[in-house]
Amino acid sequence: MDDRQLENLRNPPAERLAINACADVQAEQILCRTVGRAQTAAFLAETLPQSQVGCHFLDLYPADDARELTQNFPNLHIHCSPDLPEGEVDLFVLPVARGGEAELTREFLQQGYDRLKIGGMLIATSDNRKDVWLHHEIDKLGKNIDRTPKRHGVTYRMKKLKPLKRLRDFTAEFVFRDGDNLVQAVSRPGVFSHRRLDLGARALMEVMQIHSGEHVLDIGCGAGTVGLAAGLRAADVQVHAIDSNARAVQCAHAGAHLNGLSGFTTGLTADGDLHDEDLDRSGTFDVAVANPPYFSHFQIAEIFLQTARRGLKPGGRLYLVTKHPEWAVARTEQLFTDVIEQDVRGYTVITGIQA
């Protein structure tokens, strides 16, 4: 284990509880979720070197980070995919942080329990000492719950005695209007703006101009709503939608299918890579649209802007929506020309031209 690297990382309370709960377990096939960087999975891979341990992420950025941090463990496998990897396991570990997305937790709790062999063990932890919600959700799976209060939260253990009666599908479809078009979209828990159209995306759509035959790059596409609307705006529009969230890419692809958009492609990337199979699409786009998140001290917004700059051809147009225009406008002016800001629906939409 690379102790120096791992010790430099903050280990969230729910993850620490999961590590402590796994101190005495024995299992050959193990699957973990994480609220950190796979610390529990790394602990299990180290203490059980003959076991095969998997750790699942939805987002490629923390998955790549965890893969680098745990690269010395040949028995630890990092997965980034829309759903938990298939295959039976003896142990499923689910740390849950206070304030996490409830529907996403429900889905992974269900999926993880479904992956367990009969007789396999579920270990779930919450950093909420007064937790009732997670207890109730586990209780839906079976009544043989061992609840252990801890100083920083609660640990739950349950042995799988029988299979689930059914797997609930949490996928949602919704429809929104863009001009004369009715756009169909698909979303899942863990995807930005699940079940609804984000107002920032709506503001972006009201400003963006899309012309026949143009190539559009949707950066951080989420469920793909902006890219889907762009693809329906005019004839022969080609859209390439990218995101670091595996479910977002899956949902954008599904939305394209619902709307009959044959010229819609997707890519999973954490750094704005613009390779589509073996083709580098840098410098080929007429339009780039972006709705960056507000966390990470603008680091992700910087990736979005650099991706737009790399992707647009000379004269190409950037449309970026934000609620924090000071940094975004100043940085866009450093990278693009003819920068304009417009106030729309409580957001600022920034446009710029590739030199």
Quick: pLDDT tens for 207-240.
999 999 999 999 999 999 999 999 999 999 999 9
% pLDDT > 70, the chain: 98
| Residues 265, 310 share a domain | yes
The model's confidence at residue 273, banded by pLDDT at 50, 70 and 90, is: very high
For residue 334, being part of any structural domain is answered with yes
Alpha helices in 157-258 (DSSP H): 199-207, 225-233, 246-258
pLDDT for position 294: 86
How many domains does the chain contain in total? 2
Tokens of 124: 């779930």
pLDDT confidence bin for 9, thresholds 50/70/90: confident
Average pLDDT, the chain: 96
Using 50, 70 and 90 to split pLDDT, how confident is the model at 1?
very low
- In this model, does residue 4 exceed pLDDT 50? no
> Does the pLDDT of residue 8 top 80, yes or no?
no
Q: Which of 113, 131, 159 is the last residue of a domain?
A: 159
Residue 121's CATH number: 3.40.50.150
* Of 138, 159, 180, the domain-final residue: 159
Give the domain-ending residue among 137, 159, 181.
Answer: 159
Domain span at residue 195 reads: 172-353
Q: Which residues of 226-237 are buried (b: 16+ CB within 10 A; e: fewer)?
A: bbbbbbbbeeeb
Q: Are residues 66 and 208 in the same domain?
A: no
Task: Confirm whether 56 is domain-assigned.
Answer: yes
46 lies in the same domain as 121? yes
Identify which of 100, 83, 346 has the alpha carbon closest to the alpha carbon of residue 199: 346
The reply to whether 140 and 95 lie within a common domain is: yes
188, 326: one domain: yes
164 domain-assigned: no
The answer on 12 and 93 residing in a single domain is: yes
What confidence tens digit (pLDDT) does each residue in 156-177 have? 999 999 999 999 999 999 999 9
pLDDT-based confidence at 7, cuts 50/70/90? low
Judgement on whether residues 142 and 182 belong to the same structural domain of the protein: no
- With 80 as the cut, is the pLDDT of residue 275 above it? yes
Cα diameter, the chain: 65
- pLDDT value at 83 more than 90: yes
Examine the domain organization and report whether 262 and 329 are in the same domain: yes
pTM for this structure? Answer: 0.95
Q: Are residues 218 and 333 in the same domain?
A: yes
178 and 147 fall within a common domain: no
Residue 304's SS3 state is: helix
